């Protein structure tokens, strides 16, 4: 707006002006008859924290190992910073990897583990000392530099592994399940730490994880992977709020699914008739009128009220409370609809129930409803 | 207090039951030391005691008696005890070039054989560790398979292979590669072949056990950090397999030094190793004291390097 075009802070959202750091084109990996990675395309930009999310065996780790140079490609190409990686062995790539097992050298101290990569590059001795010191300060392990890996706790080892991979200032840092070996509390704390460190050093991170919460917290963008293919690529918000497919909607968070037939499609709204109610969606999405389609609703986006009155109209339906799960901060209500389908509804417990009469309980007649903007239309 | 204790104890068998319980509890609490004590007792009886007997004989003199050496402790009629300790056997060994040269030759042969076993065994062990889930048990089985036939039989087989009219020479002559048989049997070469062949599994198996535990991702991590494969081998793989190398080398070096059968059968009279000298002293010359002294010196030759090594290893692990 102010004259000369500036470099965007978030090039992945403004993809026209930027050259991607990593270009993955038609990459395929086969093990015998099994296709681990199936013809995938992906661009990753400088400064991103990109998460590859998927269940075990979905091909996410294979893709990461191909980026690192540990696996050969059966098809396609990988370009990092404009350079084709086809004939570049792992030891010459501008990438570093943090292994799931950390793979720290057990016969070397923390200090020597971290210095190892710099020694390979023939960095002068004084520089090595300085850089090891700086990175140890960053991960807050200055006092442990003489220790051997087996004398450290799990969390400390994780930080040594991160420091060892970061100290070479790679163009691209690959992290294979970086937090999987930590216990739950430490994992949550480390998630934010990891994102902070990434912001500080500005290195592009690609993180492989099976933990959707981890992916949502860490990533600037993420790809949901299944059966060797990307199901959807986008920011965490896009993936959560606007999933493309039933698989993604189901994989990320939980969702209630309704099958229906499109009755009206215009530029600003869509109507879908389902078994239980008419669904009105206040955003346009090109769908074929008359076609069968799935709509999905997140449990927290459904309101629940206690009522005996029958309701009518779009985006609302009567039901009976079948089961309740009290989780403290929220409650999950399993509501049986007239057609027998059970819908999950979560509601925050914003105040203590003052009297038994106000509280929704088993077998209560209720009405559920949702905002027209909350409905997710699934294409496939 | 004592009244209360008496009341809680059962009246019927006030003494026996606590005793049985006490024994049982003792067994339960100390089962570890009991389990360890059994092999220790075994070693004490069947290793340490014979060692002291041999040591005693080495300090005696040759005598025409049965057994053929003088007694260490003698009681005179007057009740005076005399102790006779003679170091002549040891001075005799160290003054005679034959013994000294034989020791050195034994050490030379066993050191070289150990090195050759390591040279061939290390890649074999590495290949087995890296082999697929189908090939691995087969390859391991092949390493152990020779133990299923008698050691002696296998050495005789080598005699048949290496002899002047043996399989190898006949094959080479029939192929027209040589005109005259190559002399292999009854040479040092044959001894090396025999020792390296026989002791190879003792090198491979500890190396295999050690390498099997190595995390394969360490090699990947090294490569990822910019290390070329050869550098990774010397900086990561070799230091981490050192315990296996040491175990394998000791398992080959120690028995190879004292080896008797292989130098006797494959080396004939041409290769002197201390095992043969020991056998000759003991059985042909019936000179038990000198034979015992030879054995004691051999023991120290073998034990000393191990102790020195352990001392330095202990220091190294302290430092880290």
Indicate which of B210, B220, B221 best probes the interface with A, i.e. most A CBs within 10 Å of its own CB.
Answer: B221
> Domain boundary at A216, A246, A276, which?
A246
Q: Are A164 and A274 contained in the same domain?
A: no
Inside any domain, residue A4: no
Instruction: Look at residue B1 in the predicted model and tell me its pLDDT.
Output: 43
* Chain-chain contact of A70 with B236 (C-beta, under 8 angstroms): no
Does A186 share its domain with A76?
yes
Q: Kindly report, residue by residue over B71-120, the tens digit of the pLDDT.
A: 888 888 888 888 888 899 999 999 989 899 999 999 999 999 999 999 99
Do the domain assignments include residue A371?
Answer: yes
Which of B221, B228, B239 comes nearest A103 by C-beta? B221
Task: Say if residue A166 is in the same domain as residue A275.
Answer: no
Q: Which residues pair with A53 in a beta bridge?
A: A209, A224
Report the relative pairing of strands B73-75 and B81-83 from DSSP bridges: antiparallel
Q: Are residues A190 and A154 part of one domain?
A: yes
Instruction: Tell me, yes or no, whether A201 lies in a domain.
Output: yes
How far is Cα A370 from Cα A281, in angstroms, rounded to an integer?
A: 10
For residue A221, the distance in angstroms to the closest alpha carbon of chain B comes to 25
Classify residue B305 as exposed, middle or buried by CB count within 10 Å of its CB (0-12, 13-18, 19+): middle
> A182 and A95: one domain?
yes
- Interface check for B218 against chain A (CB to CB < 8 A): the answer is yes
Q: Tell me which residue of A168, A66, A57, A51 sits closest to A119, measured CA to CA.
A: A168
Among A70, A93, A105, the residue with its CB nearest the CB of B236 is A105
The pLDDT of residue B10 is above 80? no
CATH, residue A347: 2.40.50.140
* Chain B CB within 8 Å of residue A95 CB: yes
Whether residues A47 and A154 fall in one domain: yes
Q: What is the pTM of this model?
A: 0.79
Residue A125 lies in a domain: yes
Residue of B245, B250, B220, B243 whose CA lies nearest to B232: B220
All structural domains of chain B: 15-83 (no CATH), 96-286 (1.10.3720.10)
Average pLDDT of chain B, as a whole number = 88
Contacts of A322 (CB under 8 A, 6+ apart): A334, A335, A336, A342, A362
Rg (CA), chain A: 25
Predicted local confidence at residue A137, as pLDDT:
92
Rounded Cα gap, residues A167 and A135, in angstroms? 6
The mean pLDDT value for B241-262 works out to: 92
Nearest residue of A to residue B229, measured between CA atoms: A91
- Hey, are the CB atoms on B226 and A117 less than 8 Å from each other? yes
CA–CA min distance A341, chain B (Å) = 49
User: B155-164: long-range contacts (C-beta < 8 A, 24 or more apart)?
Assistant: B155/B194, B155/B198, B155/B261, B155/B262, B155/B265, B155/B266, B156/B265, B158/B190, B158/B193, B158/B194, B158/B197, B158/B266, B159/B185, B159/B265, B159/B266, B162/B190, B162/B193, B162/B266
- Domain span holding position A224: 17-246
Is A145 in the B-facing interface, judged by CB distances under 8 Å?
Answer: no
* pLDDT, mean of residues B249-261: 92
Closest residue of chain A to B317, computed from CA coordinates: A107
Q: What is the pLDDT of residue B9?
A: 45
Of A99, A107, A164, the CB nearest to B217: A99
**Domain for residue A323, yes or no?**
yes
Distance separating alpha carbons of residues A61 and A53, to the nearest angstrom: 10
Domain shared by A148 and A31, yes or no: yes
Same-domain check for residues A273 and A348: yes
pLDDT at position B13 over 80? no
Q: How far apart are the CA of A9 and the nearest CA of chain B, in angstroms? A: 29
CA distance A26 to chain B (A): 24
Q: How many domains does chain A have?
A: 2
pLDDT in tens, A303-341: 999 888 898 889 999 999 999 998 888 899 999 999 999
For B217-239, write each residue's pLDDT tens digit. Answer: 999 999 999 999 999 999 999 99
Q: What integer pLDDT is reported at residue B14 of this predicted model? A: 54
pLDDT band of residue B2 (cuts 50, 70, 90) is very low
* Chain A residues in contact with B240 (beta carbon < 8 A): 106-107
ipTM here = 0.82
Q: DSSP letter string over B100-151?
A: HHHHHHHHHHHHHHHHHHHHHHHHHHHHHHHS-TTHHHHHHHHHHGGGGS-H
How far apart CA A97 and CA A68 sit, in angstroms, is 7
A62 CB within 8 Å of a chain B CB = no
Helix or strand (DSSP H, E) at A274: strand A270-274
Residue A11 buriedness (CB in 10 A; 0-12 / 13-18 / 19+): buried
Residue range B144-165: mean pLDDT, rounded: 94
CB contact (8 A) between residue B320 and residue A103: no
Cβ of residue A54 closer than 8 Å to a chain B Cβ: no
Which among B228, B236, B320 has CB closest to A91? B228
Pairing assessment for the beta strands A172-176 and A204-209 based on DSSP bridges: parallel
pLDDT digits (tens, 9 = 90+) for A124-138: 999 999 999 999 999
CATH number at residue A211: 3.40.50.300
Tokens, residue A374: 């909350």
Residues of chain B in contact with residue A107, where contact means CB-CB under 8 angstroms, are: 239-240
**Co-location of A188 and A290 in the same domain:** no
Q: Domain check: are A282 and A213 in the same one?
A: no
Chain A residues within an 8 Å CB radius of B221: 97, 99, 103-105
A101 domain-assigned? yes
Decide which of A246, A270, A302 is a domain's last residue.
A246
pLDDT tens string, chain A, 380 residues long: the values are: 344 444 556 666 666 667 899 999 999 999 999 999 999 999 999 999 999 999 998 999 999 999 999 999 999 999 999 999 999 999 999 999 999 999 999 999 999 999 999 999 999 999 999 999 999 999 899 999 999 999 999 999 999 999 999 999 999 999 999 988 888 888 888 888 888 889 888 899 999 999 998 999 899 999 999 999 999 999 999 999 999 899 999 999 899 999 999 998 888 889 999 988 889 988 777 788 888 889 999 999 999 998 888 988 899 999 999 999 988 888 999 999 999 999 999 998 887 766 655 678 888 899 999 999 999 988 75
Phi, psi of B283 (to 5 degrees): -100, -40
B76 vs A: CB within 8 A:
no
Helix (H, G, I), strand (E, B) or coil at A268: coil
A chain contacts of residue B231, beta-carbon cutoff 8 Å: 120
Whether residue A220 is found in the same domain as residue A279:
no
A148 in any annotated domain: yes
**Last residue within a domain, chosen from A246, A274, A304:** A246
**Contact of A299 with A344, CB cutoff 8 Å:** yes
Omega before B67 within 30 of 0, i.e. cis? yes
Under an 8 A CB cutoff, do A117 and B215 touch?
A: no
Of A105, A106, A120, the CB nearest to B226: A120
pLDDT in the model for residue B316: 67
Burial degree of A291 (CB within 10 A; 0-12, 13-18, 19+): exposed
Is A2 within a domain? no
pLDDT at position A356 is 57
From the candidates A68, A92, A106, A135, which should be mutated to test the interface with B, based on the most B CB atoms within 10 A?
A: A106
Residues A184 and A231 in one domain: yes
């Amino acid at each position: 707006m102010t004259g000369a075009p500036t470099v965007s802070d978030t090039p992945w959202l403004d993809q026209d002006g930027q050259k991607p750091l990593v270009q993955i084109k038609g990459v395929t990996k086969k093990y015998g008859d099994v296709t681990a990675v199936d013809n995938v395309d992906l661009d990753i930009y400088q400064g991103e924290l990109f998460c590859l999310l998927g269940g075990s065996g979905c091909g996410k780790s294979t893709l990461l190992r191909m980026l690192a140079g540990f696996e050969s490609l059966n098809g396609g190409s990988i370009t990092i910073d404009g350079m084709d990686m086809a004939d570049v062995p792992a030891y010459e790539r501008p990438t570093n990897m943090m292994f799931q097992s950390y793979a720290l050298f057990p016969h070397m101290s923390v200090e020597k583990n971290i210095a190892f990569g710099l020694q390979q590059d023939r960095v002068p001795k004084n520089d090595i000392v300085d850089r090891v010191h700086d990175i140890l300060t960053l991960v807050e392990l200055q006092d442990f530099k003489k220790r051997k890996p087996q004398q450290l706790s799990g969390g400390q080892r994780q930080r040594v592994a991160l420091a060892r991979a970061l100290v070479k200032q790679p163009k691209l840092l690959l992290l294979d399940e970086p937090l999987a070996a930590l216990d739950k509390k430490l994992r949550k704390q480390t998630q934010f730490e990891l994102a902070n460190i990434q912001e500080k050093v500005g290195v592009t991170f690609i993180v492989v994880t099976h933990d959707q919460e981890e992916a949502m917290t860490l990533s600037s963008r993420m790809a949901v992977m299944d059966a060797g293919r990307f199901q959807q690529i986008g920011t965490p918000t896009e993936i959560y709020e606007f999933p493309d497919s039933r698989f993604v909607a189901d994989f990320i968070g939980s969702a209630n699914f309704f099958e229906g037939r499109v009755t009206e499609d215009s530029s600003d709204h869509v109507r879908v008739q389902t078994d239980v109610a008419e669904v009105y969606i206040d955003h346009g999405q090109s769908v074929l009128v008359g076609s069968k389609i799935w709509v999905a609703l997140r449990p927290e986006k459904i309101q629940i009220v206690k009522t005996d009155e029958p309701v009518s109209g779009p985006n609302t339906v009567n039901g009976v409370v079948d089961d309740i799960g009290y989780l403290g901060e929220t409650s999950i209500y399993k509501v049986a609809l007239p057609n027998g389908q059970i819908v999950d509804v979560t509601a925050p417990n914003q105040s203590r129930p003052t009297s038994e009469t106000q509280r929704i309980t088993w077998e209560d007649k209720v009405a559920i409803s949702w905002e027209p903007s909350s409905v997710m239309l699934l294409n496939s | 207090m004592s009244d209360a204790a008496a009341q809680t104890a059962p009246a019927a068998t006030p003494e026996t039951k606590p005793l049985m319980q006490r024994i049982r509890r003792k067994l339960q609490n100390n089962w570890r030391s009991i389990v360890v004590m059994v092999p220790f007792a075994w070693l004490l009886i069947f290793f340490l005691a014979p060692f002291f007997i041999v040591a005693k004989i080495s300090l005696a003199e040759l005598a025409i008696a049965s057994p053929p050496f003088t007694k260490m402790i003698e009681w005179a009629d007057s009740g005076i005890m005399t102790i006779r300790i003679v170091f002549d056997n040891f001075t005799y060994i160290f003054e005679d070039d034959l013994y000294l040269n034989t020791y050195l030759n034994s050490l030379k042969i066993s050191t070289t054989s150990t090195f050759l076993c390591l040279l061939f065994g290390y890649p074999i062990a590495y290949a087995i560790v890296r082999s697929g889930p189908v090939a691995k048990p087969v390859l391991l089985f092949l390493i152990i398979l020779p133990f299923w036939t008698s050691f002696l039989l296998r050495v005789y087989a080598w005699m048949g292979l290496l002899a002047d009219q043996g399989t190898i020479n006949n094959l080479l002559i029939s192929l027209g590669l040589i005109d005259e048989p190559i002399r292999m049997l009854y040479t040092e070469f044959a001894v090396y072949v025999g020792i390296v062949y026989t002791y190879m599994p003792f090198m491979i198996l500890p190396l295999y056990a050690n390498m099997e535990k190595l995390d394969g991702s360490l090699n990947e991590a090294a490569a990822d950090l910019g290390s070329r494969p050869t550098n990774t081998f010397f900086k990561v793989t070799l230091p981490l397999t050192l315990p296996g190398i040491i175990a394998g080398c000791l398992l080959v070096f120690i028995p190879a030094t004292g080896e008797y059968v292989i130098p006797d059968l494959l080396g004939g009279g041409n290769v002197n190793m201390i095992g043969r000298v020991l056998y000759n002293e003991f059985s042909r010359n019936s000179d038990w004291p000198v034979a015992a002294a030879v054995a004691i010196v051999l023991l120290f030759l073998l034990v000393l390097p191990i102790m020195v090594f352990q001392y330095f290893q202990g220091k190294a692990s302290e430092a880290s």
